[in-house]
Amino acid sequence: MVNELESFFSHNIKGMKRSAIREILKLTQRPEIISFAGGLPDPTLFPTTELAEVTAEVLKNEGTLALQYGTTEGDPLLRKLLVERYQKQGVNIQEKNLIITTASQQGLDLSAKIFINPNDTVICGLPSYLGALSAFVSYGANIEGVSLDEHGMRSDLLEAKILELREKGIHPKFIYTIPDFQNPTGISMPEWRRIEIIAIAEKYNIIILEDAPYREVRFAGIPQKTMLELDRSGRVIQLGTFSKVFVPGFRIGWVVANEEIIDKFVVAKQATDLCTPAFVQRISARFIEKGYLDKNIAVVTSAYKQKQEHFIKCLQEYMPKDVTWTTPDGGLFLFLTLPEYIDASEFFQTAIEQKVAFVPGTSFYCNGEGKNTMRLNFSFMNLEKNEEGIKRLAKAIALEITA
């Protein structure tokens, strides 16, 4: 046994807490509980047949390459195919602008590693993806929140926040944003709002970190240009991932940015894991080449469209009045708001007794707001389970409202 083990731990790790969501997920593993708490894609949609075919071919034809160490930048074929996908969408990037990461969570961690000194400031949406906040805090960042409206991060409040920080001599390192189907709210930014945010970032010379995991999980509305596309000054760093449109188990993502920034990602990643597994990268590349990725995106979006529509119908049917929710055009989540006097974290225990779970929204607010909100996932379970879960949740909320 090490004496005074606690004294050996770094300040960084002491400042890090277990994710509230992971703790909740543990609680919700019980089979009788219907859980809206996770953020998992529907596993019945994983393209196992196509993957079996492609995996066998990769092993047979290029196994020696695919099982070897790869370069830190990533599999050349996968990078080329991803760059071509961007170019087809009219985004003029080259391979030097893209590095493969071990999914986008590593993109978030490396971003913090590259830009954050202890006590640096980062601006995030209120609410925002908890995993990103944890990554930034683990490098000693202070998080400042800017509220959202139905169009995403409010640009007027963003500018006010930057000015407020300037008064204190603080210059934020970057603005973290999820413009498409934000986690946890499902809200998307229209193009005009993206342009406003970029203009502010330009005016005050701040980098934008655009996290885009749900970008291609759109089942309604019209695609809006990404921040990366709208950027004119090389200040947007975009994170992409296969987790929601292909398989999260492969842990493949990428970062797109100007060449100078990508060079820093290469150096930072080298020290972290040398390279993302070459095998899954090559399988993904051949999967794209065969047209299976586009097919899979169509399958996933149409299934989630059906689930979202059914979910909203059930909420309308079963939820007591005074409860409101977002209606996202894509992604995996929607955000529910209870009457102000109900604290969703306290209500969680009551919900568990009714055998239904969710993530209390306050976990996503860096300033402790959002007590009467919750995040619900609609992608993971089938329609029947979703309906039964909403019935249970509505019943539990109704008891709180009349109490």
Q: Which two tokens stand for residue 15?
A: 């400042």
Q: Which of 211, 216, 231, 387 binds ligand PMP (CB under 6 A)?
A: 211
Residue 151 or 395 with smaller CB distance to ligand PMP: 151
* Strand intervals (E) in 57-179: 98-101, 121-126, 142-149, 152-153, 174-177
Give 89's contacts (C-beta < 8 A, 6+ positions apart): 229
Q: Which one of 61-69, 140-148, 241-249, 369-377 is the stretch in contact with ligand PMP (CB under 6 A)?
A: 241-249
User: How many contiguous H segments (helices) and E segments (strands) does the chain have?
Assistant: 14, 14
- Whether 159 and 209 have beta carbons less than 8 Å apart is answered as no
Give 120's contacts (C-beta < 8 A, 6+ positions apart): 140, 141, 142, 172, 173
Residue 105 or 281 with smaller CB distance to ligand PMP: 105
Q: Mask: binding to ligand PMP, 212-231, rule CB under 6 A, as x and -? A: -x------------------
Distance of CA 280 to the CA centre of its chain: 21
Residue 347 or 378 with smaller CB distance to ligand PMP: 378
Residue 111 or 183 with smaller CB distance to ligand PMP: 183
- Binding residues with ligand PMP: total (CB under 6 A): 14
Residue 337 or 379 with smaller CB distance to ligand PMP: 379
Half-sphere exposure of 103 (CA within 13 A, CB side): 14
Q: What residues from 35 to 74 belong to the interface with ligand PMP (CB under 6 A)? A: 39
Residue 287 or 347 with smaller CB distance to ligand PMP: 287
Burial 26-60 (b: 16+ CB within 10 A, else e): eebeeeebbbbbbbbbbeebbbeebbeebbeebee
Torsion sign, CA atoms 269, 227, 190, 365? positive
Least Å from the CB of residue 98 to ligand PMP: 15
Q: Which of 172, 248, 277, 389 binds ligand PMP (CB under 6 A)?
A: 248
For position 178 contacting ligand PMP by CB under 6 A, the verdict is yes
74 conformational bin, left if phi > 0, alpha if psi -120 to 50, beta if neither: left
Residue 28 or 105 with smaller CB distance to ligand PMP: 105
Least Å from the CB of residue 37 to ligand PMP: 12
Q: What residues from 81 to 110 belong to the interface with ligand PMP (CB under 6 A)? A: 103-105
Chain positions contacting ligand PMP, by CB under 6 A: 39, 103-105, 129, 131, 178, 183, 211, 213, 241, 243, 248, 253
